[in-house]
Amino acid sequence: MSLTRHTVKGVVAALCAAAVVLPLGACGRDEPDLSNGKAMFVENCGSCHELARAGTAGTQGPSLDAAFQTALADGLDRDTVQGIVNKQILHPRKGSIMPPGEEIGVTGDDARDVSAYVGYAAARKGDDEGALATAGLAQAKSGEQIFTAAGCAGCHTFGPAGSTGNIGPALDDLASAAGDREPGTSAEDYIRESLTQPDAFLAEGFGNAMPSYEGRLTDEQVQAIVDYLLQTGGG
Ligand code: HEC
Ligand code: HEC
């Protein structure tokens, strides 16, 4: 007996539904997990690519908002964007500084999740909502990841993060300057205060455009940011 492609697919689907043990990956997940995709994007792609909804502002690669804006406006559908991104992750141009997904652990369902998130978010106005709003941040651990995932990069220039935001002051000299901002306040306490009560003291020449991160960052994340800004600042 010979099976057509169609029936083979049907058989696999039936086995998956019945939870028969199959080789890993034969069933996969049905729907892409956008929260995972966003978190992995922030961690693995955001240092090189701007994507406003993910709060990333990398400049070594093209802005992914700008890259797809015109085509989307001209009617390109978002599934096609997802397909383009997936291809790019798995097979970047030879010689590109962009590492292939395999090298950075973005493969299979993860690559699909990242692609689906970029397909969803590219050049889309507004902010992510619900679980997606905190997806990147919840999993960010290192100072650099948090800086990107919390959107600091969009407003602040900071050399080690490769960010060029200019809504707030550049943070490159903070390690030497932070201790002198408020009399009697150490550099570390000053940065903590900047995060949790940004209105308490405004850097000269700036308005209070900075959102409070009170309750949005865990104690560990605040500490990681403080260490990140202090140890690498000035460089
Ligand atoms: C080290 C920096 C770097 C990292 C990390 C990186 N990229 Fe790239 N990416 C680039 C550069 C540079 C290009 C420009 C094209 C080239 O070099 O071939 C690019 C191109 C792209 C493009 C094509 C854009 C267009 O205009 O067509 C997409 C999509 C993309 N990257 C997505 C991603 C995703 C998703 C990740 C994370 C899994 C990622 N990149 C990680 C540097 C990076
Ligand atoms: C929407 C823009 C915006 C975002 C997002 C933002 N900031 Fe700010 N930030 C500002 C502005 C404006 C100021 C200056 C006014 C003030 O001191 O509150 C500032 C001030 C600061 C200062 C004091 C700098 C100095 O020279 O005294 C620090 C430190 C700081 N931000 C760190 C961060 C970190 C870390 C993040 C991310 C967790 C972040 N900011 C997110 C806009 C922003």
Confidence of residue 216 (pLDDT cuts 50, 70, 90): confident
CB 161 within 8 A of CB 145: no
- Please tell me if the CB atom of residue 194 comes closer than 6 angstroms to any atom of ligand 2: yes
C-beta separation of 44 from 113 below 8 A: no
Which mutation among 194, 202, 208, 225 tests ligand 2's pocket best, with the greatest number of atoms within 8 A of CB?
194
pLDDT band at 149 (very low <50, low <70, confident <90, very high): confident
Residue 215 has a pLDDT of: 83
Atom 3 in ligand 2: residue holding the nearest Cα? 210
**205 C-alpha to ligand 2 centroid (Å):** 12
Tell how far the Cα of 180 is from the centroid of ligand 2, in angstroms. 16
Quote the ligand 1 centre to 213 CA distance (angstroms).
30
Nearest Cα to Cα of residue 193 among 185, 221, 154, 209 = 185
Q: What share of the chain is helix, strand, coil (3-state, %, to 5)?
A: 50, 5, 45
Query: Which ligand is nearest to the Cα of residue 71, counting in written order?
Result: 1
Distance of CA 55 from the midpoint of ligand 2 (Å): 14
pLDDT digits (tens, 9 = 90+) for 17-43: 444 444 444 455 679 999 999 989 988
Answer whether 5-134 and 140-233 agree in fold: yes
Indicate whether residue 44 lines ligand 1 (CB < 6 A): yes
Are 163 and 156 within 8 A, CB to CB? yes
Token digits of residue 42: 């922030």
CA of 67, closest atom in ligand 1: 26
Q: Which ligand is closest to the CA of 137, given by its number?
A: 2
Verify whether ligand 2 is closer than 6 Å to residue 181 (CB atom): yes
**Could you state, in order of their start, the residue ranges of all structural domains in the chain?**
5-134, 140-233
Q: Given this structure, which CATH class describes domain 140-233? A: mainly alpha
Q: pLDDT by residue (tens digit) across 165-190?
A: 888 999 999 988 998 999 999 999 99
Taking the CA atoms of residue 149, residue 151, residue 153 and residue 154 in that order, the dihedral angle to the nearest 10 degrees is 140
3-state SS class at 160: helix
pLDDT value at residue 232: 59
Give how far the C-alpha of residue 130 lies from the chain's centroid of Cα atoms, to the nearest Å. Answer: 16
User: What CATH architecture does domain 5-134 belong to?
Assistant: Orthogonal Bundle (1.10)
**pTM of this prediction?**
0.67
pLDDT tens profile 103-118? 999 999 999 999 999 9
